[in-house]
Each structure stands twice: as structure tokens, then as C-alpha cells.
Structure 1
Amino acid sequence: MTDFGLKVRMAVVGSILFAFYMLVGAFGLAMFGFGAWPLVLLGLLVLPVIQYKIGTWSATRRAEEMPEEGQYRDVHRMTESLCQDMGIDKPKLMVMQMGVPNAFATGRKGNGVVVVSTELLTLLQRDELEGVIAHELAHIKNRDVLAMVLGSSIAMMVGWVAYMVYMFGGERNIGSIFVGMIISNVAQMLVMIFVLAISRYREYVADDDASQYIGSGDPLARALEKISQGSQGRESQLDDSVSALCIFNADRSLLEKVFATHPPMEKRIEKLRG
């Protein structure tokens, strides 16, 4: 059962994002005229799907499908058992060199993908790896991956609209283009604040779900400790958009901490062991 708090957050944030989405549609009607409403409606329906497909492809483009035999056989059997307990279809399993020990889930329930790094597979013990996979499966089960991807898509469109509104209302020169880009980024960040209201909480929920399905929070806590320590001094090869979906995302600068996609690692570990 999906956490009630996560359901409420997704419903509230979803309603707010839908309102922003309607503003994008209103801008389209104002720009092209009411007679173009079929074109605007088509764009509103198609653009998120295209961005979702592109986002999924971008996140997994360097990954390879994990063979079901050989060294990965136990990983597949472990995943199948967890999926049966969670009542979800088994996602596609993929492996990728990420530069750091990490894992992420993308896609939707019934058509999900779990990607683990080669660095993670060599670092963790079996029960620790089971905790990580259970965490990623919980994200797919709770549908919060889809909410994150769509939220980011809407934020991008709102930023584009803010830029276009500014440019149509003023002179077009190098200075105005620069100011327009700043306004666009600010508008995008404001929308992303609502998405982050889901992002940090969903990690706690996935941690809790994983601990319930594997019977204890300690294996996942140990895995998070090893992932955090194993990432120190190493450069991640993942884009920021993909890092936001990972089980671990190091926040370096003050701005990154303010707009952190993940709660502090020490708090997650403490909660798992509490």
C-alpha cells in the first residue's frame, strides 16, 4: 500500500502542476488564437509523452540489459521474488558504469526499468543489494518516478513560456535574451520547488517500504553507508536529471543543498535503524 502521506503530496502537487500546465495551454491559445485549440490541445498531450520517452532513453542510453544467466542470475531471482511480494511486474534490469556506486529506477508501473552500476554490484553484499533493489522497486510501485518526470517536464515548459512572454513584451537584443534566460530559470526553479516536495519525501517512503519487504532496515542502511563512502572522491558520470532519480545524490554547493532532491543520508540511515 502506497504511503498515505505520499499520496496526499502527489495529489496536492499534481493539482498545482496541472494549474501550471493550464497556464502553458492558455499561453498557447493567446499566441496562436482560440481557433488553434486542437493544435494546442495536441501539443499539451504529446509534449509530456515525448519528453518522458526522451528522458527514459537519455537515462538508460549507456546502460546494457542485464543477462539473466551467469553472474547476474541471483540478481534476477532476487528481483522476481521482491516483485512477487510487492505485487508488481518485474521491471527490465540493466547495468551501467556510472563512476560511482549507485542505482535508479525509471519508467512506470508495468513498464519500469531498474539500472544498477557495476561499481555497486562489486561493492555490496547480497542482502545490501537486495535492500537497494527493493528501494528502487518501491519507487516504481508508488508511481513517484512518473510524478518526478512529468513534474520536471512541466517545469521546463513553464520556464519556456516565461521566456517567450518576456521576449514578446520587450526588445530583442543580447541583453534581453540574457535577462529572459534568467527569468526562465527562475520560473522553472519555482515550479521545481513543488516537485521537490515529493522528491525528498519519496526517498523516506521507498526506504521504509524496502525495509518492510526485506524484513529489516539494517541491510539498506549498511548499503547507503557503503554507497556514500564509496562515492567520496569519485566523479559521477550521470547527468543531474538522472542523479535526481538515483538512490544517492551528493549535494555539494549551498544552492544544491537548498534544492536537494534527497534528504540527508545520515537521517535516512538513522531512520532505517530506528
Structure 2
Amino acid sequence: MRHAGLKARMVLSGVIVFGFYALMALFLRGIFGLPVVLALSVVFAVAQYKLGKWLSLRGVNAQDLHETEHPEIHATVERLSDEMEIPKPRLMIGQMGVPNAFAVGRKGAGTVVVSETLLELLDDDELEGVLAHELAHIKNRDVVMMVLGQSVAQMLGMVTFWVVALSDDGIAATIVGWILSAVVQALVSVFVLAISRHREYVADSDAAEYTGNPEALASALAKIAEVGRHDEAPDVSDRVGALCIFGGKRGLLATLFASHPPMEKRIDRLTLESRMERVLEEELGESLE
């Protein structure tokens, strides 16, 4: 089974997050009735998915990356999409402040956004590696899982806040409700993050496989990190940070709840993969001789 580890994490995370959702539904059943709760939660999840995608694109002022202006990028994405057996996604360019890229949507309705600074920073092979990484996210469906998990976390946070805040008219109840809401969202998000870090490793590996050039992606990640971590570089927006190939600068606390593994580890894995490929090629060449 391809990417069994990622799929197992997605299933386990989905079951746990759904368990939180089921507890919320059971609690609200006595107030609104189960059919109403189920209907409202489905509508909320769909709305969050659609709105989340729209807000992500709007948040970086994304515009279509026209094929007439960038034919080589469109050709690269079309070739990679064919190799991955997914429909070619919509390509857009956004303003993110730092070199970055992210994917939203699902197969057949996906969108890949690259920043203006990314196109200026990377050479053709490095850009191909980044594009393949984002296409891998769409192919593996992990973007949808991330968005749905975040939707459930937000639903639970909202319910927690209003239940506590409405239990008393005082300001104290409102403050406690806000604190508990943040705690609940953070707790549920932990299980969403269980797949978030691993999916980056998988997308890196897929990109290396489909491009046949892990060194190019490793070089791209190194360049992105060097520019993105500069003291004067703006941090990545919270709205798209978890979806981006570069999650932004992090302190100690942010590292504990990071949506991305350390860039150095990703680069080391790609470098090791490149060395293993060279060894295999050398052994194959010697055997043919």
C-alpha cells in the first residue's frame, strides 16, 4: 500500500477527531435534537471548507498565473500531473512576503499557489521540485483532511465558548469560555498535527520520486528557509501557514505545536535519498559492465 504510514495517521486522526465531534453532537442533541445538530454541523463543515479555501487565496491576494506569461511552469505542472495521474490544478500567484507555495482543494478541484518571490528565487529544477511537492499534497488528499480537522476543532471551540459564556451573565464566564475554547481547539489540533508533519515528509519523498531530482528540492528548501528566516522577513500568515511548504519562523513554544517538521531534517532526508539513488545507479552500472 502506497504511503501506508500517512494513510494510517489520517485514519487514526480522523477517528479521534470524529470522536470529539460525536461528543459535541451528543451534548447538543438535548438542546436542538440530533437531526438539527447533524445538519448544522455538515453545513458548517462544508462552508468552512469552501470559505477556508476562498480566504486562503484571498489572504495572499492570489491571481491566476496565466499560461501565456509562464508557459514553462504550466507545462511542468501538466507533465507532473499526468505522471501523478491527477487533473492539472489551477495555478495562481500570490503575495506572501517570503518565498513560499501551498495547495488547497482536492483532486479535480485543486489549486496551487506560488509566491512572486519564490519564482524570483528558484531555478527551474528547484521550482519543479516545489511544484511536485504541492501536487503530491493534492494527490494524497491530505489537504482535505487538514481542513476538515480544523473545521471540527473550530466547531468544538465555538460550542465550548457559548456553553460556558451563556451559563452566567458575568464577564468572568465570558473570559473562562474564551480560555476553554482555546484549550479545546488546541487539544483537537494536536491530533490534526499528527498528520501535518508526516505529510510534509511524504510530499517531499513523492516530489523527489516524480522529478528524479531530490537534490533540487533540497536546494529549494534551503534557499526558502534562508530567506524566510531572515530577521527582516515577515512571518507566514496563520491562515495559510499550515498549508505552505515553509511554515515560517518559530520560537520554542511554536516548535512544540508546529505544523511542519524542521527544515533541516527534511533537507537531510532528501540528501540521503539522493545519495542512495547514486549508489544504486553505480551498482547497476557495475552489474551491466
The answer for unaligned runs of 5 or more in structure 1 is none
Q: Deviations over 1:209-255 (max 9, x none)?
A: 00000002100000000101111234447530211100001242222
The one of 253, 256, 259 aligned to 1:258: 256
2:10 maps to what in 1? 10
Tell me how many residue pairs correspond in the alignment.
269
Q: 1:239 aligns with which of 232, 237, 240?
A: 237
What CA deviation, in whole Å up to 9, does each residue of 1:109-129 have, x standing for no partner? Answer: 111000000000000000000
Q: Which residue of 2 aligns with 1:98?
A: 96
What is the alpha-carbon distance in structure 2 between the residues aligned to residue 66 and residue 211 of structure 1? 24
TM-score by length of 1: 0.94
Q: Describe the superposition over 1:146-185 as per-residue Cα deviations: whole angstroms up to 9, x where unpaired.
A: 000111110111111222332344x221222111101110
Q: CA RMSD in A?
A: 1.4
1:28-47 counterparts in 2 under 5 A?
28-32=28-32, 34=33, 37-47=34-44
SS where residue 265 of structure 2 aligns? helix
| 1:215 matched to 2:217 | no
Contact 2:67/2:74 (CA < 8 Å) preserved in 1?
yes
Alignment of 1:218-229 (within 5 A): 218-229=215-226
Q: Who is 2:62 aligned against?
A: 63
* Contact 1:221–1:273 (CA under 8 A) maintained in structure 2: yes
Matches of 2:153 and 2:206, distance apart in 1: 28
- C-alpha separation in 1, matches of 2:180 and 2:3: 36
SS at match of 2:98: coil
Residues 236, 56 of structure 1: alpha-carbon distance in 2 compared, 3 angstrom cutoff: farther
Whether contact under 8 Å (2:136, 2:206) holds in the other structure is yes
**The one of 177, 181, 205 aligned to 1:180:** 177
- The one-character-per-residue Cα deviations of 1:2-60 (angstroms, maximum 9, x if unpaired) are 4110000001111111111112222321222x3xx332221121110000111000011
Q: Percent identity?
A: 52
1:272 aligned partner: 270
Q: Which amino acid aligns with 1:215?
A: G
Q: What is the rounded CA distance, in whole Å, between the counterparts of 1:238 and 1:262 in structure 2?
A: 12
Contact 1:63 1:95 survives alignment (8 Å):
yes
Match of 2:276 in 1: none
Counting only pairs closer than 5 Å after superposition, residues 154-165 of structure 1 correspond to structure 2 as 154-165=152-163
- Quick check: 2:76–2:128 contact (8 Å CA) kept in 1? yes
Matches of 1:122 and 1:2, distance apart in 2? 34
1:87 aligns with 2:77: no
